[in-house]
Structure 1
Amino acid sequence: MATFRKAGRRKKDETLAAALDFGASKVACFIARITLEDGFAPHAEIIGVGRHGVGQRGRASPDELEKGVRNAVELAERMAGEEVRRVIVSVPGKHLRGRRIGVDLEIAGGVVTQEDVDDSLAEGAKIANPPDCAPLHAMPTGFKVDGEDGFSDPVGFSASMLSTEMFAVSARQSFLDNMADLIERCDLQVDEFVAAPFAAAEAVLLDDEKELGVLLIDIGAASTGYAVYDNAALVACGGVAAGGGHITRDIAQIFGAPLAHAERIKTLYGSALMGPGDEHRFIDFPQLGASDETVRASRADICEVILPRLEEILEMVAEQLPDDPMRRSGLRRVVLTGGGSLLVGAREVAERTLAMKSRLGRPAPIPGSPEAAGAPAFSVCAGLVQYYANLGRMHENGLGVLRQSLHAGNQSSVLGGVEAWLRAKF
């Protein structure tokens, strides 16, 4: 039987997207309904949110992570009234590797076509990943037509040579395999791996910030991710193995308190800036192994512990930024996000340490999202949803071939990891 559609009616498709953000202290899951309608931008609506803590030390065991994934997904499914089997998974910045790539392609027809652009992007994707790594993203940063730059879209221009500059992001193969095994044990499948700093940027950065140049810093519990944008393109992405959990450990070690109490003190009274009278405001710390004993310290004392570690984290990120002096001199703005960005005084310390104007980055509102899910700690999860919703737009912009190439590589690496796990276990 033939199916007819009335003229003028727009085609409308809906699909579910499940985003999973692995943190050292929590696992978060968002379930969204993505609506694709002809003539309109993709629309995302959050229908389920789940969160589960996985410890306070900033280092979760595999069993804790598995429990966290199951509970977070179950909570989100219960809220959504839907069941998911495939998830988009974030990859923390400290496991990422960034690489700049240049591809030169001869134009046979004398005019650059979309097929030529797709071929150059696909060729760059093949050489994007270093040894022992799997490609995640490979995005163009600029095009040159017969040596002339400044082209954001070269299609339709006369040329004999198309030069494509790209920035590729990859991750360690062993880490992705371990994550795939963990997801499989939770009766789920990985649809795609996405770099966490890139996802956070999708959620919190403004288009003008990306165009003018911006540094995004996502402060997590055990690591801090970063992403650099210039001329609306991602030009650097990675992370350092230090985060808010290290501040908690410093407080616990110096004042002899349990980690849980040190985290509570940091959250309630911690600050990177010393305020008037802080030296006269005292807090009691229970002692490890002797709960009836306490040590009294002032808020000024706590500040003197927090400030050096926060400055160290920001300096470690600064050391990872691109070496190009022109590119670094163009950075005038930093956006802080992640749970660690809520520390009082973090913005002021970032401005002083990095010599950039700063602001706190919260995820852009998504319909259906509860108010609590708009906190900086959920920037990555919200960004994963936005990334999925924008995939249709990526295909319209000619990036579909590139994504399919990278996605195929990820699927083979995931299946390879599962096969190795099955052989080892059975």
Structure 2
Amino acid sequence: MSILFKKTPKRKKNIFTAIDIGGSKVCCAIAKLDERASGENLKIIGLGYQVSRGIKNGTITNLEELEDSILNAVHSAEQMAGDTIEEVYVNLAASCTKSHTVDVEIALNGQVISDIQIRQLMALGRASFVNPYSQIIHVLPIAYALDDVEGIKDPRGLVGQKITASLHIVSAQLSLMQNIANCIGRCHLDVSGFVVSPYASGLSILDDDELELGVTIIDLGGSNSSIASFLDGALVHIDSIPIGGSHITSDIARGLSTPLVQAERLKTLYGTTIFSSSDDRETILVPQLGEGMHQITNQVPKSLLTQIIRARAEEMLEMIWKRLQHSGMDRLVCQRVVLTGGGSQLPGIRELASNIWGKQIRIGYPKGIVGGSDIVSTPMFSTCGGLLKFALRDYIGDESQISPVYDDGAILTRIMGWIRENF
């Protein structure tokens, strides 16, 4: 058994920490329960952002560069919080994970269903997964069936002869998880748990009604775009495509012959997917590639920039829809679509998606999180906010929320790690 969790949790003062390792940025957020607010609101007490280096499409390409990015983000968050952290929840890119569903059942013989039977079903689901090169991240119940009655969400307290569970199992390559855990360990931190990115985003931005009726979220990240579909309160599907906001930036750099830094600046200042009648007359100054300190610029019509951005955005949205059609999610849960992530802040992307998909689209913002800075209330904080929500629910043991996680493997791994260290 692989040891991904070095020690038993040492959380102090109800403080939760998340590290979102994305394709364009690393974000570290430290939060605590907001005692003045009702419900499960979290207050950000520390926040750190750094440019993401040493990782591409969720895979580590340079361990030292990624370590530096994480250390700098953590240091900034700790300085703001006035405290040090010891353990964190970390995301895994959907592009590095696989998911499938499995049905398991056990005989009841008239017994009353309790947590014992539920955990037995989860253990059977884990046992059905046999892959020495992968490790399970989540075992998420989709629905239960008691005898001939289907569609049961919470069977505890009921009586029957047999119970069947449909489980959504999400796994990741073992070596990847070990490498990320090792990188976090080099930053003198322990990994409390891994969460697949789009699932975390869903925890952060979705309403209860959306979860119940069915919804698909599209997290437009830096190096890839993640997909997560929810139905009847459960995560039923995850997927991704290898295109994100950084590809738009690269297209601008190539198309306008300008450095990547300047391309990102142009995208931020003037980027849109919507053409305007004045675009051909309006010009923008574009610093030219390779001119160094000479700062030679070229004037180009704004319409050219919009054309470059729109072409890549259309390709990205069409690829996402093809993936949804391939999985069948376009018919099952795609009446409601939510865009989130940094790419969703591109002006006009919502309208473009609505035209291409023929669906009503909204932009998803983190909920139930306050403090820190204005970034906390933007779509680019969705994954990090969801990691904090996951940490909170893991801490209080709330299994009444969407897709409760009965993660026996994570608990067992922590116990085994403690035994190996102390005996």
* Shared fold, TM over 0.5: yes
What per-residue deviation string (whole Å, max 9, x for no partner) do you get for residues 13-72 of structure 1?
942211001012211111112489xxx855532211111123699787433321111111
**SS in structure 1 at match of 2:222:** coil
Q: Note the C-alpha offset of 1:350.
A: 1.4
Contact 2:92 2:194 in 1 (8 A): yes
Matched-pair identity in %: 33
Q: TM-score, normalised by structure 1?
A: 0.86
Map 1:70-149 to 2 at 5 A. Answer: 70-128=71-129, 130-149=131-150
2:298 is equivalent to residue 295 of structure 1: yes
* Alignment-derived partner of residue 27 in structure 1: 26
Q: d(CA) in 1 for partners of 2:288 and 2:253? A: 9
Q: 2:123–2:408: 8 Å Cα contact kept in structure 1? A: no
Q: How does 1:330-409 map to 2 (within 5 A)?
A: 330-392=333-395, 394=397, 396-397=399-400, 402-409=406-413
Which residue in 1 is equivalent to 2:9? none
Correspondent of 2:324 among 321, 324, 327: 321
Cα RMSD for the two superposed structures: 3.0
CA contact 1:96–1:239 (8 Å) conserved in 2: no
Deviation beyond 6 Å, 4+ runs, structure 1: 56-60, 398-401, 410-413
Contact 1:225/1:240 (8 A) holds in 2: yes
Say which of 42, 46, 49 aligns to 1:51. Answer: 49
State the Cα distance separating 1:296 from its structure 2 match: 2.5
Change (3 A) 1:100 1:207: same
What's the secondary structure of 1:331's corresponding residue? coil
TM-score using structure 2 length: 0.87
Partner of 2:313: 310
Q: How many residues align?
A: 403
Q: Distance in 2 between the 1:326 and 1:152 partners?
A: 21
- Summarize the Cα distance change of 1:61–1:152 in structure 2 as closer, same or farther, 3 Å threshold: same
2:170 is paired with a residue of what secondary structure?
strand
DSSP-derived class of the 1:279 partner:
coil
Q: Which amino acid aligns with 2:150?
A: D
1:323 deviates by: 4.9
Q: Deviations over 1:280-313 (max 9, x none)?
A: 1111222211355433322211121111211222
3-state SS of paired residue (1:390): helix
CA separation in 2, counterparts of 1:281 and 1:338? 29
The answer as to whether partners of 1:25 and 1:57 remain within 8 angstroms in 2 is: no
- Which moved further from structure 2: 215-224 or 325-334? 325-334
Deviations 1:366-416 (A, max 9, x none): 233332321111111111111111125545559988223244358879x99
User: 1:180-229 deviations in whole A, cap 9, x for unaligned?
Assistant: 12111111111111111111111111111111111111111111112111
Q: Deviations over 1:92-134 (max 9, x none)?
A: 1211111111111111334433322221122113334655211
AA in 1 matched with 2:311: P
**1:143/1:323 Cα in 2 relative to 1: closer, same or farther (>3 Å)?**
farther
Q: Distance in 2 between matches of 1:104 and 1:233?
A: 19
CA distance in 1, matches of 2:92, 2:399: 26
Q: Tell me by how many angstroms 1:169 deviates.
A: 1.2
CA 1:58–1:184: 2 relative to 1, 3 Å: closer
Q: In structure 1, what is the Cα distance between the partners aligned to 2:325 and 2:119?
A: 27
- 2:382 partner letter: S
Cα distance change of structure 1 residues 274 and 195 upon mapping to structure 2, 3 Å threshold: same
For the residue of structure 2 that corresponds to 1:321, the secondary structure is: helix
Equivalent residues of 1:363, 1:376 under 8 A apart: yes
Residue matched to 1:171: 172
CA–CA separation in structure 2 for the residues paired with 1:158 and 1:54: 52
Label 1:171 to 1:223 Cα distance change in 2 as closer, same or farther (>3 A): same
- Whether 1:266 aligns to 2:263 is no
Paired residue type of 1:340: G
Secondary structure of the corresponding residue to residue 367 of structure 1: strand
Which residue of structure 1 aligns with residue 194 of structure 2?
Answer: 193
Please identify, of 328-337 and 49-58, the stretch whose mean Cα deviation from structure 2 is larger.
Answer: 49-58
Q: 1:297 to 1:70 in 2, by over 3 A?
A: same
Counterpart residue type for residue 381 of structure 1: C
SS of residue matched to 2:324: coil
